[in-house]
Amino acid sequence: MPGLARRHTVRVVTAALLAMVPTVVLPGGASMAEGTTLPAAAVPGAACEGLARSLTARATDVEKVGQLFVPWVAQSTADGPTELERRRIQERGYGAFNFNGGTLHGPEHAARYTNQLQEWAADTRLGIPVLPTMDMEIGAAHRFSVMGPGRGVATPLPYPMGLGATRDIAAGTTSARITAHEARAVGFAMNIAPVADVNTNPENPVIGVRSFSEDTGLVSEMIAAQVKAYQANGVIAMPKHFPGHGDTSLDSHTHLPTVSYDRETLERVHLAPFKAAIDAGADSIMTAHVVVEAVDPELPATLSKKVLTGLLREEMGFDGLIVTDSMSMAAIRERWGMGGAAVMAFQAGADMIMASDDESYDAILAAVRSGEITRKRLDQSVRRVIELKCEYGLFRDRYVDPARAAAAFGTPESLDAAEHISRESVTLVANDGTLPLSTDGSQRIVVTGVTHGGTADQLPNLVSETEARTGATVADHGWRFGSQPSEAKIDEVVRAAEAADVVIVGTFSKATPPAQQVELVEALAATDTPVVVLSLGLPYELTDYGDVDGAVATYAVDLWGSPSRSAVLAGLDVVFGAQPGGRLPVTLGEHYPFGHGLTY
């Protein structure tokens, strides 16, 4: 296997790293005894490659197969990992864990959690460290039950579409740097991001604000910048979802999408960001559960050798880790089963399998023991995994200091940067002079629509945040994220609006806006009271509401209701007078072109 270090900046490998195993075999067959110090001029890549070969040669089938898997940590506990995680590490050899939303309760809790996983791993025969990972599309805050902005808590940053709206590549770099700094402080060394999908389909129900833009060039620039920044700051980047999920009309969590564009479109529009990621040195790439007819009309990319080996490895020259999206998603589970699909994905060229339970692990182990998967093929992926862990310092320093973790979160520099970037991302789409609203307390304001809730109740309360920005009388006529108004509720809100000076409506759409939401906004627009729409999700919805007096796009909430608090707060800041900096990273029908954005 080619040395992965050829794609990296040189990293120092110390004696402590080598002491984690009894013997490190170097190229050419030479060995170094435990505790031997590498000379300063030694090539770190050679040491990591030798370490990976040595450990792979000594590992049992169970230990090898475990290194291939990334199970979910989905149970929220105050004390840390459970007996399930211990058994998976010490009995099955699992080598990575992916954390679900809300499982981490703060920096100290997260640090203790990953330390316990590493302690269990250190207490195994080979002592191979685990690779803690999670989706950090809006920063490390993405998977915490409590996020900032604030000192000592995880810093939320704009979603990629918000970063795209800034048109500032440096903002993408800074966001990645802040994310990596906070992630490594609590033991995380891999980010299942950035999203490299080009959102060319306005009705895409799963990518949306997670994409930087509909523009391939802008996506490619942001992807390259973030890959470099993540990895320069010690976190493996994982651009996703190869070879592109941006033109789908179905959500692969529930259905199997197919895209039918031709090969030229695939290469020109959807592959270009992945090519940029590879050129930038990306050490891993995640697959898409999408049938790409231009390459393989029969199988989704995750299971297709034509896509993973033929296209990604051979044509595009990628030699890093190929990681599957979750095998528990309906696109895969309901057609091939998680176990059978795991074997197919591995045979197609994947190195690591993301799976929620042990069915996929058992299937791979059985396939190895039966000879269906050769040990040569198995060893190839195991070496890739171990070598990358070595190169990112996990053998050298697997533990973090819980007592110091909070000091790395929400630093003054990070908070200032997050606030600036968030305001630069907010786009003033429409304004007839109603905006900005006064902060002098003279207006009677109705706040309605989606005003609170979201994942772990993280969405800033639009009512209280409006009150904090003005001394005005604020009437609360809103509802939780995920709810929709009844006819009676719409009538109630309209009556309240008729007695008010202005109405702020929080709206959310993950694709086509809900009919009740459209009815509400249209009914309010028919009154004589000015109406301001604060779009929390995809901005495409703004073309469905007719003539409103003001419209602000925040790109702040994804399809699951996970908000970037910084982006929501920045949107309200703009409503009350902060200068917006964003320009549309997508086209809104015939009304607002790509690049549109007003200022005060």
Which of the residues are catalytic?
253, 325
Q: Mind listing the pLDDT tens digit for each residue in 363-417?
A: 999 999 999 999 999 999 999 999 999 999 999 999 999 999 999 999 999 999 9
The percent of residues above 90 in pLDDT, for the chain, comes to 85
Region 230-258: mean pLDDT is 93
- Residue 331 is predicted with a pLDDT of 84
Q: Is the per-residue pLDDT at 8 higher than 70?
A: no
What CATH architecture applies to the domain 426-575?
3-Layer(aba) Sandwich (3.40)
Q: Is the per-residue pLDDT at 169 higher than 70?
A: yes
Q: Mind listing the pLDDT tens digit for each residue in 317-335?
A: 999 999 999 998 888 988 8
- Residue 457: left (phi > 0), alpha (psi -120 to 50), or beta? left
Phi and psi torsions of 532, nearest 5°: -115, 125
- Residue 527 is predicted with a pLDDT of 97
Q: Mind listing the pLDDT tens digit for each residue in 481-502?
A: 999 999 999 999 999 999 999 9
- Residue 191 is predicted with a pLDDT of 98
Higher pLDDT, 350 or 23: 350
Q: Is the per-residue pLDDT at 158 higher than 80?
A: yes
Q: Mind listing the pLDDT tens digit for each residue in 405-421?
A: 999 999 999 999 999 99
Kindly give the residue spans of alpha helices, DSSP state H, lying in 125-262: 160-166, 169-185, 216-232
Q: Is the per-residue pLDDT at 190 higher than 70?
A: yes
Q: Mind listing the pLDDT tens digit for each residue in 117-146?
A: 999 999 999 999 999 999 999 999 999 999
Q: Which two tokens stand for residue 170?
A: 């440096």
Contact between residue 213 and residue 199 where contact means Cβ atoms under 8 Å apart: yes
Measuring CA to CA, which residue among 558, 455, 571 is closest to residue 137?
558
Q: Is the per-residue pLDDT at 30 higher than 50?
A: no
Structural domain spans, the chain: 59-407, 426-575
Region 540-567: mean pLDDT is 96
**Mean pLDDT of the residues in the chain:** 91
For residues 600 and 591, give the distance between their C-alpha atoms in angstroms, rounded to a whole number: 20
Contact between residue 283 and residue 277 where contact means Cβ atoms under 8 Å apart: no
Higher pLDDT, 511 or 598: 598
Q: Write the CA distances from 530 to 229, 443, 472, 574, integer angstroms.
A: 44, 12, 16, 17
Measuring CA to CA, which residue among 180, 135, 127, 26 is closest to residue 386?
127
Q: Which two tokens stand for residue 254?
A: 């529930």
- Residue 430: left (phi > 0), alpha (psi -120 to 50), or beta? beta
Are β-strands 96-99 and 69-73 bridged in parallel, bridged antiparallel, or unpaired?
parallel
Region 455-459: mean pLDDT is 92
Q: Mind listing the pLDDT tens digit for each residue in 260-286?
A: 999 999 999 999 999 999 999 999 999
For residues 591 and 263, give the distance between their C-alpha atoms in angstroms, rounded to a whole number: 31
Band of the pLDDT at 9, cuts 50, 70, 90?
A: very low
- Residue 26 is predicted with a pLDDT of 31
Q: Which two tokens stand for residue 219?
A: 């996506």
User: Strands across the sheet with 190-191, in order?
Assistant: 236-237, 190-191, 131-134, 96-99, 69-73, 353-355
Q: Is the per-residue pLDDT at 245 higher than 80?
A: yes
Band of the pLDDT at 11, cuts 50, 70, 90?
A: very low
- Residue 77 is predicted with a pLDDT of 76
- Residue 44 is predicted with a pLDDT of 61
The topology (CATH level 3) of 59-407 is TIM Barrel (3.20.20)
